[in-house]
Structure 1
Amino acid sequence: MKIILGLMILLNLFTTAQAKDKENRHLTQVSFDEYLVQINWVQNGVVPATTSSMTIIDKKSHRVIQTIPLGDNSLWIDSEVVASGSYLKMKDLDEDGHKDLWLYTNWGTGVHDHNVYRFNPKTKTFADRYKHNENDYGKGEWKTTVEKIDPKNDPLSVQTTDNKIRHLTQINFDEYLVQINWVNECTSSMTIIKKKSHFVYDGISTPAPNRVIQTIPLEEDTDNLHIDSGVLANGSYLKMKDLDEDGYKDLWLLTSWGSEVWHHKIYRFNPKKATFVYLKEVVEKVKH
């Protein structure tokens, strides 16, 4: 009996553990004919969030085919090219009949730099990295140089492959964005992002990118939602309302439902830590 009780306590600790993350994060997504490419942005210090990694997803299967680290380029989340969507494109670098990924890394008057990730038809990944530079050297005559990066000397050559099916959905509340991460079509984690934040630079307070306040794991839940659940279509699987009339809105995550009752897991807001902590499960009667 003591062993069973101990295992139950350990399981509860795993399911309620939360990862705190004070970095500013964004996720942007560009859609191409066959792929969705998600760019993950992370703030480093006081500067706006810069590119951190690029996740490539097959649109038909929703499978992640690879994640590419992006540690050496200078894109900022508020860059003009990001606003216009021109920071990422697909076109054939060497006329081999396959479109490659072109990521802007530097631009200005008379210069355009890209990292080009060349498509490998054998592995069906974007493997080899090239530096593509266009420069007029102040003479008005553009010259192009293309340099293949040797993976042995490239710290960014490490790429992860992942055959799991992944989705990301996002619910917008007054003060928060809540992203639900789905793995193999079931809930995996919940990332809570503070919408209104500022950073101070040279004594000046400036609006900052959205800030992640915590990530809550959901993988160990027995009542995992499925990506094709009917409640996802109308966005009713997650809501914010005050459970105990303490003046703070709490997170209500739907876990199961029927014609008479709906079950929610309640993550109560803790004003001292400014995070959401799992409290209990609540059963609501359905009003007909």
Structure 2
Amino acid sequence: MSDTAEPMIHEDQLPGHESRLEPKPDWEPRYPGSGRLKGKTAIVTGGDSGIGRAVAVLFAREGANVAILYLCEHDDAELTRKACEKEGARAITIAGDLGIKSFCEEAVTKVVDTFGSVDVLVNNAGEQHPDKDITGITEEQLKRTFQTNIYSMFYLTQAVQPHLKPGSSIINCTSVTMYKGSKDLLDYSATKGAITAFTRSLSENLVGDRIRVNAVAPGPIWTPLNPFGGKPPEDIPEFGKDTPMGRPGQPNEVAPSFLFLACEDSSYMSGQVLHPNGGIIVNG
């Protein structure tokens, strides 16, 4: 087997159309914008649906140009683009496999050619495949999960770094599973641990250039990731009910954490992780 694996598009219905999800997630921004990202350009991976869509549209409301990177859900990505433009922003969609270094480089080039700069990178795209036993994790799945969840962050950061400047921000999406574990998501949780370590280390690497690197660790959020194969079907009715708040979160309850870390409100924060997770206590 090669060192790379093709996207597991047909396995478990992944990555999943938000347009087919019921009930529909709440992704619309919940408050008026205040220009906190005015004149900036943001790349949001996994921006076609879920948390990525909520982040993209919130950034657009706050004045940013938005590049929506995604794998293959073209209808969802188009809806996100139109929602960003409705907020008065310029927005583009770029489809491709973030697990391939050359695509990441080409995508960043297109963003810079279109908007002239990159100020914020949101590494949000991710995938997960449940397995009750570690022996059920195939070599292909293991490679693919790491390609999507952690390799892509290295590839995009490498491509973006020459364009960043003092005041720029990188925000990575880790997970509550990194902190409390998940017996059915061994490979996924391992990537999220790697993402947190990457965030803290990259922060130390770039802080001297006044580029801040932080992360967000969502709890159970109602997005296509779980209902379309990221979780066993029999577990979906109870999804999120084991949190102290007793329910799953919505994408627009997570997006403000990304906005805070992207803008000057968090100018004295780097190497940190925010935890919109329904009240789960973790050592952060």
The normalised TM-score by structure 1 is 0.25
Richer in strand (by share): 1
Structure showing greater relative contact order (alpha-carbon pairs closer than 8 Å, 6 or more residues apart): 2
Larger Rg: 1
Given the two structures, how large is their TM-score scaled by the length of structure 2?
0.25
